Chains A and B, each alone.
Chain A
Amino acid sequence: MTLVAPGYGPRQAFRSFHFDRSSILSEGRLSDYGHTYDQLEPGQRFEHWPGRTITEFDDTLFSLMSMNQHPLHIDEEYASKTQHGRRVVVGPLVIALVIGMSERDVGGRATATLEYRDIRHVNPVFHGDTIYARSHIVGKENGVVTVFSEGLNQKGEVVLSLERRLAIPLAQPA
């Protein structure tokens, strides 16, 4: 099993899409975002970095901008009388965040997301919880990479799991 270090370091140089940065930026090592199809192999694991604390502001704004007005996410009085006794972070925020965290290592070169599969909210997330993410490559075929990702909280409990199918191109000739 190949281990791949988390992002933020300079990577092997592949130019982004059809956009030529070298004509704008100085000569030097090109940082990268995501991986090309040929760089991703089944079994590769990624521990994404950094994580992120979800604030009350995040949850309220995310709920409302996505037109989700469920009182469990925006009404503390209502939420205090429910199972968890407080507001629960809206599901798509946790999903978007785990996907976002994985982008630098996995989906940054994808031209399209084809599908999310089997999304499970394994544990609730509350305001103040910090989310970390990890992924592994499940398989690849005909330009489509299947990746499994998990979100964990600060106690190491899995809060979310999902699988995605991404269309990822081969390396562009430099």
Chain B
Amino acid sequence: MSYGRYFEEFTAGEIYKHWPGRTITEHDNTWFALMSMNQNPRFLDHHVAPDRPVIDSLVFSLAVGMSVADTSGKTIANLGFEFARFETQLHVGDSLYAETEVLEKRESGSKPDRGIVYVETRAFNQRGERVLVLRRRFLAPKKA
């Protein structure tokens, strides 16, 4: 079984529809907020925030995580995120689905065994509303 892609296997313009998605539960949200030391009552207290918003860093982490099997699963280094924009608030009980488009790929200037891949990952809720869009670059090794 393969996890991620070699540099040669990326094509600019290609879109990978990741699978599976995942429902964010009560437990996920509370646990994630507390373990990341975020004690904002919006994520911990239903009487303060009856609409139960999902913490942004969890949405972000999941969108990245879901994309790895199709994208950076063989990566040597993550070169950082250009941006991550939150467009729709996700709520506890919603599901998250993600897709990634390859924007650009280029050879490394210094090391011939790898290249830089630039991608955009988009995450949606179960109604197809876009929740998050992010762009990042990573180093992908070559096959040969």
Contacts and interface: CB of A to CB of B under 8 A. Distances in A.
A52 B40 CA distance: 18
B36 A68 contact: no
A115 B73 CA distance: 25
Nearest to B33: A100
Contacts of B73: 69-70
Chain B residues touching A, majority SS: mixed
B76 A83 contact: yes
A120 B80 CA distance: 5
A91 interface: yes
Interface string A112-156: 111111111100000000000000000000000000000000000
Query: Which of B37, B49, B66, B72 has the most chain A CB atoms closer than 10 A to its own CB?
Result: B37
B37 A97 contact: yes
B41 A116 contact: no
A138 to B, nearest CB: 15
B89 A16 contact: no
Interface in A45-94: 52, 58, 62-63, 65-72, 82-83, 91-93
Contact of B57 (A33, A100, A110): A100
Interface residues of B, number: 44
Interface residues of A, number: 44
Query: Which of A33, A67, A113 has the most chain B CB atoms closer than 10 A to its own CB?
Result: A67
Contact of A118 (B57, B60, B83): B83
B68 A70 contact: yes
A70 B84 CA distance: 21
Interface of A: 16-17, 19, 33-34, 52, 58, 62-63, 65-72, 82-83, 91-93, 95-97, 99-101, 103-104, 107-108, 110, 112-121, 162
Interface of B: 3-4, 22, 28, 32-33, 35-42, 45, 47-49, 56-58, 60-62, 64-66, 68-69, 72-73, 75-78, 80-86, 89, 134
Given A92-B61, A118-B83, A121-B78, 10 more contacts: A34-B40, A66-B62, A72-B75, A83-B76, A95-B60, A96-B36, A100-B57, A115-B84, A116-B84, A162-B81
